[in-house]
Amino acid sequence: MMIRKQQAGLTLVEVLVAVMLLLIILVPAMEAIRTSVTGAEVHSELASSQFRLTSRMEELLAEPFGDLEAAAIAVGSASVASSYSEAAGPPGRLIVYLSPYDGDNADLDKDPFTGTDPGLLWIEVEAEGTVHRLRTVRAEGY
């Protein structure tokens, strides 16, 4: 009787099946990596925008109240950019809106920009062309 040797290697069919399985698995894995890289870029842009907005708001809050109030009165409307805004130019410039503020709603019209209270100022910083913005109310003496 003849003793058969056990097979020592892989057949061509087994190699082709293994390669096909790797290719089938590799496509979704590469798509996941591409999505992750894109997400990281978007996060970086959002974080940069948030940092710029926060930095500008902190600069405004450090300004003397009288200077901000004078700029708000000069503008005359909460929807008009103030002199504290960046010059027109590239998209994403920071626009600053200032207005006297009605904190107690004594006139009962529910409009925070009519019947304003002395010593209250509404401040908004917006990145032009985006939905990113910060708003706050500042009281005189703070």
Alpha carbons 111 and 21: distance in angstroms, whole number: 65
pLDDT reading at 136 higher than 90: yes
**CA 124, 129, 134 angle in degrees (round to 5)?**
20
* Res 3: pLDDT: 62
Average pLDDT over residues 21-27: 90
* Res 139: pLDDT: 92
What value does the mean pLDDT of the chain take?
87
Average pLDDT over residues 110-136: 89
Alpha carbons 40 and 30: distance in angstroms, whole number: 15
pLDDT reading at 8 higher than 70: no
CB 106 within 8 A of CB 91: no
Alpha carbons 30 and 33: distance in angstroms, whole number: 5
Burial of 103 (0-12, 13-18, 19+ CB in 10 A): middle
- What is the CB-side half-sphere exposure of residue 105 using CA atoms within 13 A? 5
In this predicted model, what pLDDT tens digit does every residue of 104-119 receive, in sequence order? 888 888 888 887 788 9
In this predicted model, what pLDDT tens digit does every residue of 37-88 receive, in sequence order? 888 888 888 888 899 999 999 999 999 999 999 999 999 888 899 999 998 8
